[in-house]
Structure 1
């Protein structure tokens, strides 16, 4: 006993099969599924190329007063100072950074801190080293 579609004849089944073949088998067997009207046109000869950063630097979410590079450098610096070291003075911060296997440049920066000052946050340490922090938003 052969099973088939009882609602259509073989000719209609074949036609319906061809209509959906691109969806079932992919674009390699009969064309692309991309609607041509949705493909963006390239920029004209006298027009600038489209960009996600028309004003220059990409929008990275960097706070006001800091560049994305400043944020990245402070983040790297802060990875080697854990919360157990804060509040802490220069010697505590250096010991904590060494415990966390900080690279030599981070240790050298911490060694430049003035002796006898206690720091509450990584941002305070960062600023004491002469780097930028975000400006306060009011």
Structure 2
């Protein structure tokens, strides 16, 4: 078996280099990886532009069963109830919120909690205040 040289001449090396330059260097370096005939056609005059992101409340990242406002309000409540207060009853939660300098509206909400109930999580406190938590996805 005869083995010859595997090197090319300079002209063939340059040609081969240009053929793969779009793959090696990306679209900004003298060409694109996508051929013109593979690019999507623009939308028609009376057609909306295509998008991959849905509109509405789905884009906020809020869990199913809650609005983005609910998520923000529950999060705000949770900022003033630390983990050291949980599990805790109404008096413990109010004292903890006062220690964390909770605003008057948060303290007023905690005052509405029924006495004699121990809450394990902020979500339980939120539900006891009459709000809804996220629903479980099956």
2:113 & 2:17 partners in 1: Cα distance?
A: 79
* 1:133 to 2:133 alignment: yes
1:63 is aligned to 64
Give the TM-score normalised by the residue count of structure 2: 0.66
1:12 is aligned to 12
* 1:87 to 2:87 alignment: yes
Q: Pairwise CA RMSD of aligned residues?
A: 3.2
1:33 & 1:16 partners in 2: Cα distance?
A: 16
Residue pair 1:119, 1:125 contacting (<8 A) in 2 also: no
Q: How many residues align?
A: 130
Give the TM-score normalised by the residue count of structure 1: 0.66
Deviation at 1:47, TM superposition (A): 1.9
2:54 is aligned to 53
Deviation at 1:37, TM superposition (A): 4.2
SS of residue paired to 1:14: helix
Deviation at 1:21, TM superposition (A): 2.9
Residue pair 1:113, 1:128 contacting (<8 A) in 2 also: no
Deviation at 1:136, TM superposition (A): 7.2
- Gaps (5+ residues) in structure 1? none
2:97 is aligned to 97
Residue pair 2:89, 2:115 contacting (<8 A) in 1 also: yes
